[in-house]
Amino acid sequence: MVYIDDIYADEVLDSRGNPTVRATVVLSDSTVASAIVPSGASTGKREALELRDKDDRFGGKGVLKACENVNVSIADELIGISPFNQAEIDALLKELDGTDNYSKLGANAVLGVSMAVARAAALSLRVPLYKYLGGSNAIVLPTPMLNIINGGAHADNDVDLQEYMIMPVGFDDFKEALRASSEVYHTLKKLLNEDGHPTALGDEGGFAPNFKNNEEPIEYILKAIEKAGYKPSDEIAIALDAASSEFYKDGKYELKGDNKVLSAEELVEFYENLINKYPIVSLEDGMAEDDWEGWQILTKKLKDKIQLVGDDVFVTNPKILQEGIDKGVANSILIKLNQIGTVSETMKTIRLAHRNDYTCVVSHRSGESEDAFIADFAVALNTGQIKTGAPARGERTAKYNRLLSIERELGYGEYIGKELFKR
Ligand code: 2PG
Ligand code: MG
C-alpha cells in the first residue's frame, strides 16, 4: 500500500519577489510532488492566517516558521498515512492546527501540504490532477476573466477599481478564446501607447497607467476589443473587481479617481450606470466586506442583471457563504484556496454554492507562482469560470497554458462561455 514517506517545505519566491511556502510530498512509491502557495494584497479580514516571521529577514515577510511547521508538526502527523483520502488528510490538518483560521500552523503551511498531497496522489495513480479531483465529469474548460487594466492595491495609479477584465464568452473553445483575449491585450497596449500612456504592468499583468476617471479604462478596453476585430458583448464581455473594501472609509466609498464620496445607495447607482452603458456581465466586491447592508441593496438591485461575485465578503468560507445565502448577499462567489486553507474545505464551499445556485469563479492571488494548481482545480470542480490575470507574465500564463494542455488532452472538452450569462 502506498503511503506518505516524507514531507518538507522550502521558502521560495512569489511573483512579487516575496517569500512563500513550497511544500513537497514524497510517497513510498517514490512519487515526488510539490505545490507553491499564493499570497494576496487586497486580503479579506476573515481569511485564514498567512503566517509570516515578522523578523528582520525579507522585511518581516519570511515564512521560515510556516516551513518549520510543515517539516515538524505536519510531517509527524501525516507520514505513514495513505495519500488517497484527501478529506481525511485535510481533516487531520485541521485537527492538528485546532484553530478556526489556521493561526497556529499558518494557512500557508497547511495549504501547501494539502495541494501537494493531492498532486502526489494523482501522479502516483498516473492520472492528471483535474481527473483525480473531478473524475470523468471534469470536462468543462473554464471561461477566463483576464485582468488587462490594473488599479487599486495592485498598481501605483489613481484608478480606484482594482480589476478591469475581459471575458471571451462568444467562442467555441478555450484556445480561440485565449487567442482573442491576447489580441485584445496587445491592441490595448497599442492604443495606450498612441495616447502617450505608459504601458508598465501591474501585479497581475494588466496595464496600469493613470486615467481621467474610473470609467475611462472601460472605454479603452471596448475600443481595443473592436479594433482587434471582435464584438463587444457577444464575443468579449467585461468583468470588474471593484475590491471596494479598499476604498471604504467610515461608512462611505471614496472614489478618488472620480472625486466622489458615495453612500452605498449612490455607489449602486454608479454601478448601475456603468452596467447600462457597457457590456458588463460580472461585478466582484461591489460592496465592502463590512458593509452587508450595502451588499443587500446591491444584490436586490442588480442580481437579475449581472453576476455579483463575493470575494472579501465570503473569503471562500462555507459558514460565511451560508450567512450570505440566508441574507440575500451576492449570487456568486470567488474561490481562493488560501482564503480557507485546504483543498477539501474549498471543495465544500463550492458544493454549497452550487446547491444554492451561486456561480463559482476559481481565482489566483495577486502574488502568484508558476504553480498552475487552480487550472486543474477549476476543471475538476466544473466551475466554468476562472480568473487568473492578464495573458502575460509567466505566473499568469502558467495557468492559461495548463488549460490549453488540458483542453488538448480532453479532446472533448466543453467551453460554455455562451451559456454563462443569458444575454
Ligand atoms: C482579488 C485578488 C486576485 P488579491 O481581489 O480578487 O485578483 O487580489 O490576491 O490581492 O486579494
Ligand atoms: Mg477580489
Mutation to probe ligand 1, out of 241, 282, 316, 385 (largest number of atoms < 8 A from CB)? 241
Q: Known catalytic residue: 204?
A: yes
**Taking ligand 2, which is a single-atom ion, which protein residues have CB atoms under 5 Å away?**
241, 311
Q: What is the pLDDT of residues 381-407, one digit of tens each?
A: 999 999 999 999 999 999 999 999 999
Intervals of the chain under pLDDT 70: 423
Q: What is the pLDDT of residues 9-67, one digit of tens each?
A: 999 999 999 999 999 999 999 999 999 999 999 999 999 999 999 999 999 999 999 99
79 Cβ closer than 6 Å to some ligand 1 atom: no
Q: Which atom of ligand 1 is nearest to the CA of 39?
A: 9
Which residues touch 92 (CB under 8 Å, ≥6 apart)?
77, 78, 81
Mean pLDDT, the chain, rounded, equals: 97
Q: What is the DSSP string of 196-252?
A: T----B-TTS-B----SSSSHHHHHHHHHHHHTT--BTTTEEEEEE--GGGGEETTE
- Return the pLDDT at 155: 87
Which residues touch 171 (CB under 8 Å, ≥6 apart)?
177, 180, 235, 415, 417
Q: Which helix (H) or strand (E) holds 115?
A: helix 107-124
Region for residue 411 given its phi and psi (left: phi exceeds 0; alpha: psi -120 to 50; beta: otherwise): left
Which residues touch 93 (CB under 8 Å, ≥6 apart)?
74, 77, 78, 105, 110, 113, 114, 341, 342
Order the strands of the 260-262 sheet from edge to edge. Answer: 248-249, 252-255, 260-262
The residue with cell 495548463 is 402
Q: Which is catalytic among the residues 50, 163, 204, 289?
A: 204
Q: What is the pLDDT of residues 277-311, one digit of tens each?
A: 999 999 999 999 999 999 999 999 999 999 999 99
- Return the pLDDT at 422: 72
The rounded distance, in Å, linking the Cα atoms of 291 and 245 is 9
Q: Which is catalytic among the residues 336, 348, 387, 399?
A: 336
The rounded distance, in Å, linking the Cα atoms of 420 and 165 is 16
What is the CA(161)–ligand 2 centre distance, in A?
Answer: 10
Q: Known catalytic residue: 422?
A: no
Which residues touch 213 (CB under 8 Å, ≥6 apart)?
257, 258
